[in-house]
Amino acid sequence: MVRFRLVFRLFFFCWLLVGFAGCSHDKVSISNVHGDGDTAPANGDDSEKSSSEGYLGDSGDTVDTENGSDTGDTVDSADTAVGVDTSDSSDTVDSDSGDTGDNGESSDTADNGDTADSEDTGDLVDTGDTTDTDTIATDTIDTDTTDTDTADTDTADTDTADSDTIDTTASSDSGDASDTTDTGIVPQFCGNGTCEGKETNENCPVDCPVVCGDAYCAPSETFALCPEDCLPVCGNSCCEGTETVWSCPSDCPAVCKDDACTHTETASSCPDDCPSVCGDDACTHLETAFLCESDCDAVCGDSWCTHNETALSCSADCPHKCGDSVCTGDETVLTCPEDCEAECGDSWCTHDETANTCPTDCDADCGDSWCTHSETALSCADDCDAVCGDSWCTHDETAKSCETDCAPLCGDYLCTHDETVISCAADCPAVCGDDLCTHDETARTCAADCPSVCGDAWCSEDEDFESCFDDCLEGAPGTCSGYASRYWDCCKPHCGWQANVPPRMHPVSSCSSDNESWEDNYTIQSSCDGGDAHTCFGLVPFAVSNALSYGFAATSEGDVCGRCYQLDFTSGRVAGKRMVVQAINLGYDVAGNQFDLLIPGGGLGLKNACANQWNVLPRQLGEQYGGFLKSCQLKYGTDDVSVLKSCVADYCDTVFGTNGLTELHAGCEWFLTWYDIADNPEVLFKEVVCPAELIEMTGMNRAPLHDINHSCD
């Protein structure tokens, strides 16, 4: 009974398919009726499915036409037969291997819950059953589309088969039930082994195999396999048919002599195809070194003077010309000195030839540094040196160096011939021991010629402190008490005015702002009063020995200009030393027993002309009274002498050293070393005869006045 029901369902389904095939549609359309009663569109949502899937209903059932495997609710037909599922959406019919339910059950469940015999189910879909699946396929199936059935094959029930899908083999389609192939209507007999009607290899490859010469280029055919059907395709790496290197350079290689200069062909590799191009590093065709120097080398004899060819290296191509560094043809040192070298004896004095190197070509020329030909020291002193004995007293010849040429001349600073210090004191120096006390000889420098004279600033052997107080300073110290301070204000000294010094005595000279001496011009206004007269830098203190120094000072009011005082220090780090100073200035803030020593950086006092003269800031000059040392004491105290000396040294270097004030810097160094930065030490003083060194420096000499004051006033 079960077998009968299944067979009945199959025939009923076939009858429905035949009925639909008789419709006026161009292609058979098998609608799929969904389980919920809705009808699937003929070319709706399934248009995007592939032909191997067909149209899928609600249950997602599929028909696999390629293999016998069942992927769930699947009808498989490897021979393009139609497998018909008579169950609802949960049943599976396999035309090859039997039917297995979606849930793995072996029974077939009908729409009303009836149970079919699993053996009958296997008989129904077995490819050996009486049902001819080929006939069904040719009557109802579009090989390009997957259509779903709407017939219910169960006569006992009114159920509609739910979402079952029928698939065929061969060609794929987009899944649209209304679609057709390019060849028109789908043939109704595809699969019968005969290629007939509108069947082609494309819509029915089962019946119509690929045939070369059928005027149709099948996908598996190429020009190489079937040139009768297929055209060449550029880009397939095969140069075929009418393809050439011009029409398809990607497939066809370059071939020399094919009249096409392609790929890597050049005029050098294939001159038959490629023209010459200047700059391609190939000298080809008609190119020459003249037309294309970058490609063609120079060839001597090609009538072209190119590259580094010269008249010397290739006279066939290059003509001779002046300036080509080659002395050729009729060129000479005269016509072309650029190319031809000088040659002594060619009668031409050229290039670096001189009367000395080539007298045959070059005449003597006074001033050419060569004493040649008839030139002499007399005719050309510029070229010819003096020669003692040539009867000419020239150049630096003197009566002393060449008595034969030069006669003695008093005043020529040469003591020659019979000149003596007596006959020509200007030329002949004093000679100690000649019994003549001349020039600068003194009893101190030459006791053999000069007698000792008191007041000559030399304590000779026959003099002592008692017999000649003025000369013998090493006598008893002074008896007057006082102290020594320090200053340097850059003003014109008080003793620089003629009215302030004794008659017939020269004032001390002043200097300009750049330390140029005004010499005997004593009327220049003081720099402290708006003028340009300053204290000269040379008036700094200096050491005579470790125990004695000379210098200058300002004293209190009175007739003091040019007077000298011996100061014996009795306190401070300078105690035990002696200093002789000459008074050149008055200090209105200086006490009667005070000696204000002239020391650079010692303080400005009442006035200040140093900032402008030295081009420094006032604060760089230290304290007004006490100068550099006082500023250092205020900063570091008075206990650490080494720190104070270092501080004062920095002032000296900054103000004097870096500004090039050498003499002032030396005076500042004296304060650091010999004076040992003594701060206002006490002294015993007395007036003495001025040493010659101090008189020479200032020009003030009171010795002729014989007015030394031995009192302390």
Stretch (H or E) spanning 580 = strand 578-586
Structure tokens belonging to residue 154: 């169960």
Query: What is the rounded distance in angstroms from the CA atom of residue 413 to the CA atom of residue 397?
Result: 13
Beta bridge mates, 564: 582, 688
Query: What is the rounded distance in angstroms from the CA atom of residue 427 to the CA atom of residue 425?
Result: 5
Q: State whether residue 482 is helix, strand or coil.
A: strand
DSSP labels, 334-364: TT-TTTSPP-TTSS---TT--TTT-TTTS--
Cα dihedral 342, 344, 350, 355 sign = positive
* CB contact at 8 A, 496 and 510: yes
DSSP labels, 109-157: E-TTS-EE-HHHHHHHH-TTSSS-HHHHHHHH--TT---B------SS-
Give the other-Cβ count within 10 Å of 422's Cβ: 10
Given 76, 489, 532, 679, the catalytic residue: 489
Please state, in angstroms and as integers, the Cα–Cα distance from residue 66 to each residue in 82, 169, 171, 452, following that order: 13, 6, 11, 153
List Cβ<8 Å contacts ≥24 apart for 648-653.
648/601, 648/672, 648/677, 651/601, 651/620, 651/622, 652/600, 652/601, 652/628
Closest CA to 161 of 173, 171, 152: 152
- Please name the amino acid found at residue 409: L
Q: State whether residue 641 is helix, strand or coil.
A: helix
Structure tokens belonging to residue 142: 């579009």
Phi-psi region of 131 (alpha: psi -120 to 50; beta: other; left: phi over 0): beta
Given 176, 251, 361, 596, the catalytic residue: 596
Closest CA to 664 of 652, 676, 680: 652
Q: Packing angle between helix 627-636 and helix 641-652, nearest 10 degrees?
A: 130
- Please name the amino acid found at residue 335: T
Q: In this structure, what are the phi and psi dihedrals at residue 121, rounded to the nearest 5 degrees? A: -60, -40
Query: What is the rounded distance in angstroms from the CA atom of residue 346 to the CA atom of residue 364?
Result: 17
Give the other-Cβ count within 10 Å of 634's Cβ: 12
Please say if 489 is a catalytic residue: yes
* CB contact at 8 A, 205 and 216: no
Q: Packing angle between helix 641-652 and helix 662-672, nearest 10 degrees?
A: 180
Give the other-Cβ count within 10 Å of 578's Cβ: 20
Q: In this structure, what are the phi and psi dihedrals at residue 526, rounded to the nearest 5 degrees? A: -65, 145
Closest CA to 535 of 652, 629, 664: 664
Half-sphere exposure of 610 (CA within 13 A, CB side): 30
Half-sphere exposure of 161 (CA within 13 A, CB side): 28
Please say if 405 is a catalytic residue: no
Query: What is the rounded distance in angstroms from the CA atom of residue 586 to the CA atom of residue 252?
Result: 118
Catalytic residues: 489, 596
